[in-house]
Amino acid sequence: MPLSEIVKLWIKEKYAKPGNVYVGVAHRLDRPVTGLVLMAKTSKALPRLNEMFRLGEVKKTYWAIVKNAPQEAAGTLEHYLVRNEKQNKSYAYDTERADSKKAILDYKVIAKSDNYTLLEVDLKTGRHHQIRCQLAKMGCSIKGDLKYGADRSNKDGGISLHSRRSSFIHPVSKLLIELVAPVPNDKLWLDITQGID
């Protein structure tokens, strides 16, 4: 059952709503990614939320566990991504190509374990497989991400990329909304994030 349908059932039960319940998906996560997904509860809210994403007014932060630490502890990655529909994969280039889209993200190392490094990634653009593709391009494939160069898969078939935080100004109340998703209940995630807010 799609996540949106699960959320509809939850809203219907929690608020004892009669009739049909509306849920609009404002953005998606790749199937193997964990974490925060934003949805709209009304048909009026969805286009507003979509426009906020389009204008870059929703700040999205991800956490990624990588095997190879980056050469620099923090930086900005800028590439031109070309999406291959047949392979469901994107390729990153240093220079503009036909049908490419510019992709920008900031990253910084926020923790290390004996074998892995935890990166915090702030997306500046939203491209197909952007984080996965750009981190792999700099030699830091995400743990478990076979499609982008990891040496082996994770036991659950997922990858160690987590949509950690989203923040935006509510279009009606004008209040700052900050949402945080707890990390997966997994030993590696719990160990590497110990002591981090």
C-alpha distances in Å from residue 103, one per residue of 28, 41, 80, 94, 133? 17, 30, 6, 10, 10
Q: Give 7-48 as a DSSP string.
A: HHHHHHHHTT--S----EE-----TT-EE---EESSTTHHHH
Query: Can you give the pLDDT at residue 36?
Result: 93
- 131, amino acid identity: I
**pLDDT, tens digit (0-9, with 9 covering 90-100), for 98-133:** 999 999 999 999 999 999 999 999 999 989 999 999
Query: Can you give the pLDDT at residue 15?
Result: 85
Q: Which domains does the chain have, with CATH numbers?
A: 55-192 (3.30.2350.10)
Query: Can you give the pLDDT at residue 172?
Result: 85
Q: Which of 30, 106, 122, 186 is catalytic?
A: 30
Query: Can you give the pLDDT at residue 134?
Result: 98
Query: Can you give the pLDDT at residue 30?
Result: 82
Query: Can you give the pLDDT at residue 33?
Result: 94
Query: Can you give the pLDDT at residue 21?
Result: 87
Q: Which parts of the chain have pLDDT scores under 70?
A: 197
Scan for tokens 């870059």, then name that residue.
Answer: 56
Query: Can you give the pLDDT at residue 19?
Result: 82
Query: Can you give the pLDDT at residue 3?
Result: 85
Query: Can you give the pLDDT at residue 175?
Result: 95
* Rounded Cα–Cα distance for residues 165 and 163 (Å): 6
CA proximity to 34, closest of 180, 146, 183, 179: 183
Query: Can you give the pLDDT at residue 171?
Result: 83
Concerning whether 30 is annotated as a catalytic residue, the answer is yes
Query: Can you give the pLDDT at residue 4?
Result: 84
